[in-house]
Structure 1
Amino acid sequence: MCDSRQQQKINYYEQRLNIRQVIEDANLQELDEALNICDLSSVERKFHLWQRLLPRVHPFYAVKCNDDPMIVQVLAKLGAGFDCASKNELKLVLGSAVTPERIIFANPCRPVSHLAYAEKHGVTNGTVDNEFEIYKLYKHYPSSNLIVRYKSEAKEAQCPLGDKFGCDADGDATALMLLAKALELNVTGTSVHVGSGCSELGAYNRAIRKAKHLFQFGELLDFDMNLLDIGGGFPGSDDEKFEKIAEDVNKSLDRYFPDENVEIIAEPGRFFVASALTLICKIHAKREVRNPSTGKLDTVMYYLNDGIYGSFNCILYDHQVIIAEHYLNSTEDLPQFKSLLFGPTCDALDMITDNLQLPNLNRGDLIGFPNMGAYTVPVASPFNGFEVPKRMYFQAI
């Protein structure tokens, strides 16, 4: 059965999506819950940008970044592959008419029941980074294709991943390949993740060079090494930075993997969806703090209908720096005040930011937050009884 969100209406627009017009047409002042405005055409534009700048690299969307079925369906129709980490993510993607060959089970440590589900549905490609997982596969899914995940971290990344996943490329990776050979398992490629939100241009070149050495070792063991997975880390709201990273990746691939018989994939997540969602929040309460000596307004505290336990979990878990935009109709230059934004729950931790400059807004006014599509929706919870944001979908004609 399809997720109910798949049945939601798509609103169509011409040329560009006007957020202010959406707010006026939807009468959002009457809505208690926050609202995510999802631009599906933004996802399409990102896909075509990827194809243009990284023509040799097939994108496998990291479902964990935003598991909205509408987004998954858009990428499925465009021909993307998918990086899944669990049985439920596999179910979601397979239910969107995606063939098993377009999926990589990219969690190096999987429950046995999830492996059984993958085997039942023909998802053969999966990552591994330790000997215990190899023995698990030997016992429970020996016909799978092992993709050895090694460690090669960027010096600058929003969320480093090497402390949890990836084996040492120089020693442990080759030992795992020898173990797989002894157990008559099939190693078909390598996988790496330089870190989510990578800012170091040289990180991918370093990672791809390590992969080349592992491919050479695998060939010595008579493995048919045919899959190179360069992972994620690609920026979602900075196309200029992505263009520079893509140029570096292309040069590295041409140097180390000129053989067209090697399939090259990546696991972009935030690249596709970060800029696709704009979150609209309503101020449901405020407090003014005045200077005790002069009586002048010093600080304004606003309480919104979404917070750290909802979409803004990205501040804690993804280290995101938010951007706030008010929607006042006045064209005059309004005085700015130090502004604190709180979420709706009773937890004092539920502070969105304590260092914004905003005009003196009123209860019922709306604040928008662009680039809220990555690592927000899947983690949001209705803590304290407050609902997670509703969604509206838009697409260009």
Structure 2
Amino acid sequence: MISFEQFELIGDTKVGVLPQQVNQLEMCREIAAAKDLEENDSSFMLVDLDKIIERFELWKRELPMIEPFYAVKCNTDLVLIRILASLGCGFDCASREEIDIVMGTGVSADRLIYANPCKTRSFITHAMERDVRMMTFDNSEELLKIARLHPNAEMILRIAVSDPTATCPLNLKFGADPVLAGPQLLKLASEEGVSVVGISFHVGSGCNDASAYRNALQHAKNLCEIGEGLGFKMDIIDMGGGFPGAEHHNPFEKIAETIRDALDEFFPETEKRLIAEPGRFFAAGPFSLCANIIHATEVPATKITKDQKDCGDHGYMYYINDGVYGSFNCIMFDHAHPVGAPLFDVGRNEKYISTIWGPTCDSLDLVEDKKLMAKMEIGEWLYYPDMGAYTLAAGTTFNGFAKPIPMYVMSEELWGTIKDSSHISF
């Protein structure tokens, strides 16, 4: 396959170490060209580990006062988790399995928050056994359940403050009303002798309106004052997720500026521990998917457009070896709109109306529709960048089609930096 100057191990996984900075597109071309020589048409996911470090540095530059706790549900890739752990990141876990995945890499329990407001009873007991103490709640039933099963828990009240325009609003499912229910839950915790240590919120995945953070922090301040009046320390403010992971019309820098301004207003010179739960922010950009065209067929354009004015024109339907039951489940579950392009310059300028299908026998397995694209041939490759968020984590092998094989690369310079500074054993 590809001849790297050296390989290193992260856990049990081989990482190709390059003498220069990684160029994802060029590296994907090299890998695909090598696979073509072997007549190997299996899809693959290139994972640029340099980009994880670049995203972490961006976070520390824009929000240095906030500790990132990576949302494991976004992508459970062990190499991604190990890199973030080596950088000192904390982790937001939502289940027993996620707790074990993270702690299996050597991360200590105090770097985890069990941030699922509705937890399975046996999972709560497991968290106690592993000494995971920070956990969220948003209702009285959960509070009483944890009080009985995990008396050492350090509870964080999750409130419902959301950006209604977010890609995935979350306040319909989770979060207590900050004005009505919040104070009542704090009072109940005091009566039951349960330790409450802070407030959390999540404005929604794929936040579009950064002002939602200001509104949430104002409510958090009010509830902290109520909690402190009841004798709680209220040391933690957890700002949840919603931070963009790739190109976004409300860029991360703008959101960070709004958060900094709101913190200056509501928590100036605070000694509270400020944390957040970014997922796609770290996971999206490092992963690039290359899928092979396993079949191509010419069809009347009207079959694609359903418009009789296109009668007489022709288009193409392409079938690739990954789809919505695999990496492209993000289309169904994350409201994503992946946009692919030919991996290589095909030298054909004329574009035709096209549809790209996944490989399964299900007609729901539609990746892109009514797309203008140069004519492609069977065996050629399509390139999809920014495919790390809510893709592999929920992918299946439905209909017997394998998930893409991840291939990890990193520059020699950043490998040395990570290896020398890491507290995690690679």
Q: CA contact under 8 A between 2:24 and 2:288: conserved in structure 1? A: no
Question: Which 10-residue stretch deviates more, 286-295 or 248-257?
Answer: 286-295
Rounded Cα–Cα distance in structure 1 between residues aligned with 2:387 and 2:226: 42
For residues 84-95 of structure 1, the aligned pairs below 5 Å read 84-95=93-104
Rounded Cα–Cα distance in structure 2 between residues aligned with 1:47 and 1:291: 46
Tell me, yes or no, if structure 1 residue 350 matches structure 2 residue 377: no
Match of 1:121 in 2: 130
From 31, 41, 49, the counterpart of 1:40: 49
From 82, 97, 101, the counterpart of 2:106: 97
TM-score, length-normalised on structure 1?
A: 0.95
One-letter amino acid of the counterpart of residue 247, structure 1? E
Rounded Cα–Cα distance in structure 2 between residues aligned with 1:365 and 1:28: 11
One-letter amino acid of the counterpart of residue 15, structure 2? I
Q: CA contact under 8 A between 1:128 and 1:148: conserved in structure 2? A: yes
1:198 aligned counterpart, secondary structure: coil
**Cα 1:12–1:283 shift into 2, 3 Å:** same
Which digits, 9 at most, give the CA deviation of each residue in 1:56-92, with x for residues without a partner? Answer: 1000000000000000000000000000000110001
For residues 91-240 of structure 1, the aligned pairs below 5 Å read 91-238=100-247
From 318, 328, 332, the counterpart of 2:334: 318
Which digits, 9 at most, give the CA deviation of each residue in 1:14-59, with x for residues without a partner? Answer: 1232423433345233334311111111111000100000011000
Rounded Cα–Cα distance in structure 2 between residues aligned with 1:18 and 1:92: 27
One-letter amino acid of the counterpart of residue 34, structure 1? S
Match of 1:385 in 2: 400
Gaps of 5+ in 1: none
Rounded Cα–Cα distance in structure 2 between residues aligned with 1:329 and 1:21: 15
Match of 2:60 in 1: 51
Match of 1:248 in 2: 258
One-letter amino acid of the counterpart of residue 139, structure 1? R
One-letter amino acid of the counterpart of residue 75, structure 1? L
How far off is 1:135 after superposition? Answer: 1.0
From 90, 101, 108, the counterpart of 1:81: 90
Match of 1:359 in 2: 374
2:59 aligned counterpart, secondary structure: helix
One-letter amino acid of the counterpart of residue 307, structure 1? G
Question: Which 10-residue stretch deviates more, 106-115 or 237-246?
Answer: 237-246
Tell me, yes or no, if structure 1 residue 7 matches structure 2 residue 12: yes
Equivalenced residue count is 393
2:147 aligned counterpart, secondary structure: helix
Rounded Cα–Cα distance in structure 2 between residues aligned with 1:101 and 1:246: 25
How far off is 1:117 after superposition? Answer: 1.2
Rounded Cα–Cα distance in structure 1 between residues aligned with 2:366 and 2:318: 10
TM-score, length-normalised on structure 2?
A: 0.89
Rounded Cα–Cα distance in structure 2 between residues aligned with 1:47 and 1:282: 32
1:222 aligned counterpart, secondary structure: coil
Tell me, yes or no, if structure 1 residue 290 matches structure 2 residue 289: no
Rounded Cα–Cα distance in structure 2 between residues aligned with 1:320 and 1:6: 31
**Cα 1:291–1:47 shift into 2, 3 Å:** closer
Q: CA contact under 8 A between 2:28 and 2:290: conserved in structure 1? A: no
Question: Which 10-residue stretch deviates more, 334-343 or 255-264?
Answer: 255-264
Rounded Cα–Cα distance in structure 2 between residues aligned with 1:37 and 1:339: 26
From 389, 392, 402, the counterpart of 1:374: 389
For residues 252-331 of structure 1, the aligned pairs below 5 Å read 252-290=262-300, 298-330=314-346
Q: CA contact under 8 A between 1:20 and 1:327: conserved in structure 2? A: no
Gaps of 5+ in 2: 1-8, 303-307, 413-426
Rounded Cα–Cα distance in structure 2 between residues aligned with 1:84 and 1:48: 23
2:271 aligned counterpart, secondary structure: coil
Rounded Cα–Cα distance in structure 1 between residues aligned with 2:31 and 2:48: 16
Q: CA contact under 8 A between 2:280 and 2:388: conserved in structure 1? A: yes
Please, what is the CA RMSD of the aligned residues?
1.9
Q: CA contact under 8 A between 1:193 and 1:230: conserved in structure 2? A: yes
One-letter amino acid of the counterpart of residue 384, structure 2? F
Rounded Cα–Cα distance in structure 2 between residues aligned with 1:278 and 1:133: 40
1:244 aligned counterpart, secondary structure: helix
Q: CA contact under 8 A between 2:348 and 2:374: conserved in structure 1? A: no
Match of 1:28 in 2: 35
One-letter amino acid of the counterpart of residue 327, structure 2? S
